[in-house]
Amino acid sequence: MINFLYIREHSPEYHESKSQWAYWHCKNFKDRKEAYKHITDSTWAFAYCRNIKDRPSVRKYITDSWDAYFYCKDIKDRPEIRKYITHREVLIK
């Protein structure tokens, strides 16, 4: 018999946010390419780079101004990420 609760917990197709599912899967279970390739949201990409591993394949999805700011501030100041910092409040700091 198929345990649908198990499928729902461990399969990205059953989650509203595949990025969120992939982040928590990599953090709590195992950091695999099959999982982190689903991280395409800027916030979850930043969280992945900050808390798990700073990978170029995930880093390229950090496009939000605030996420880019905190990436450059907390992890590493990279020109390809810095170009996304556009909010006036962020630029003042």
pLDDT attached to residue 17:
79
Q: Which residues of the chain have pLDDT under 50?
A: 1-5, 7
42-51: Cβ within 8 A, 24+ apart = 42/67, 43/19, 43/67, 44/17, 44/19, 44/20, 45/19, 46/70, 46/71, 47/23, 48/23, 49/75, 50/74, 50/75, 51/27
pLDDT attached to residue 57:
96
The parent domain of residue 87 ranges over 40-93
pLDDT attached to residue 87:
78
N- to C-terminal Cα distance for the chain?
57
21 within domain boundaries:
no
Query: What pTM did the predictor assign?
Result: 0.80
pLDDT attached to residue 54:
97
Q: Which residues contact 73 (CB under 8 A, 6 or more apart)?
A: none
72 within domain boundaries:
yes
4 within domain boundaries:
no
Rounded CA separation 46/63 (Å): 9
61 within domain boundaries:
yes
pLDDT attached to residue 7:
46
pLDDT attached to residue 68:
95
> In the chain, how many domains are there?
1
81 within domain boundaries:
yes
Rounded CA separation 61/44 (Å): 9
pLDDT attached to residue 88:
72
